[in-house]
A and B are shown apart, each in its own frame.
Chain A
Amino acid sequence: MFDKRKDNEGDSSALSVQREDPRAAIESATKTSAVIGTKIQIEGNIIGDENLIIEGKVDGTVEVRSKDLTIGPSGQVTANVTARIVKIDGTVKGDITGLEKVTISKTGKVQGNIVAPRVTLEDGAKFKGSIDMDPGEATTHETPRTSLKSPSKPKPVGDQPSDGVSANTATK
């Protein structure tokens, strides 16, 4: 049911690096991912401790807390999912918890609630639901790029001209 796929499968140059550099070989060996193929359909809970790629259909829950989860372009997941990093190229209906990051790519379609320190949407991504973000919880602490300081809140000016354009109206 689960295939093992090495990230550098079929890459001869990567294999030659493995022979020459033991550290690279170790790193490469740990970069394996379990794959749920396009013709696999699972109903139930998936709990694991290795990277997971879902190309098929999953109904239930998916939990790979310390690893990465990728919903491939053909993946259809109706489940609450939890992973360290979640990347969605396919379709997800359910709540998503990314302990580090959630990315919805341009082919991704998500309906549900996302909780993650950082969330990225690519142009074309479809999302409906809520996003809970707290950059302070991310492993890489970044200071806010933008200050919310801006001119003071103006007092409501009461009735406006009947055409609705206030005195400071300007055409851009």
Chain B
Amino acid sequence: MTREQKVVEQSDLLPLLFAELDSSKGLTVFDVGPAVPETVDFFSQFKCRLFFADLLSDLSAEKDPDDGKVDFGELLTYPTETRFDICLFWDFLNFLDVEMLRAFNLAITPYIHDETRAHCYGRFSRRSPVMNQQFGIKKIDEVVVRNSNVRLPTCYPHGYADLRDIMGCFSFSRSMLLREGRLEILMYAS
């Protein structure tokens, strides 16, 4: 895949994210990545509120060289009544070290409710590469993957067990090994 190209991947777990989800009252969706056309288009058929955080750009741009940390409490400031039905973390968690991962878990917890479900990509092993890519939902069972040219921060590939142990606000449900050691993971609020 060249820089400009995008590919569409089938996802067996993505449909489970939407299982038994009542969209009639409106969906609240948190996407940790940048807004991509496909995701906006996909959700445009529903009454919904989408939050695009684009945290990776904050992580690259605002990283304090003194301590290398970002304050997720400052970055994730949404109206107090906000509760996400769906969280799309994509591969963002692999750019957080253990300490930052804990901080992210704490920052996201106030916005989680009992039925929140989440999707992320971990890595099969810590040696599995983390690519510079952006993700979006094209269809209920299709993910669009684009090569990105944003400057990447240091990456910390996390395996299933690492993520499960640290992301305490979720219980890990199912995972699927994809190509290049990418591990697709489905989570539910715990």
* A interface list, Cβ under 8 A from B: 118-123, 125-136, 142, 144-148, 150-157, 160, 162-166, 168-172
Contacts and interface: CB of A to CB of B under 8 A. Distances in A.
Contacts of A125: 35, 37
The 9 closest A-B pairs by CB, nearest first: A164-B160, A150-B15, A127-B35, A144-B45, A121-B37, A153-B19, A134-B47, A131-B50, A148-B18
Interface bin, chain B: 35 or more
Main secondary structure of the interface of B (DSSP, over half): mixed
A122 B26 CA distance: 24
A132 B52 CA distance: 11
27 contacts: A123-B37, A128-B34, A128-B53, A128-B54, A128-B57, A129-B52, A133-B47, A134-B48, A148-B21, A148-B23, A148-B140, A151-B19, A152-B20, A153-B20, A154-B173, A156-B172, A156-B190, A160-B172, A163-B125, A164-B185, A165-B175, A165-B183, A166-B175, A170-B12, A171-B178, A172-B176, A172-B179
B160 A163 contact: yes
Contacts, number: 145
Contacts of A120: 37, 40-41, 44
Contacts of A134: 26, 47-48
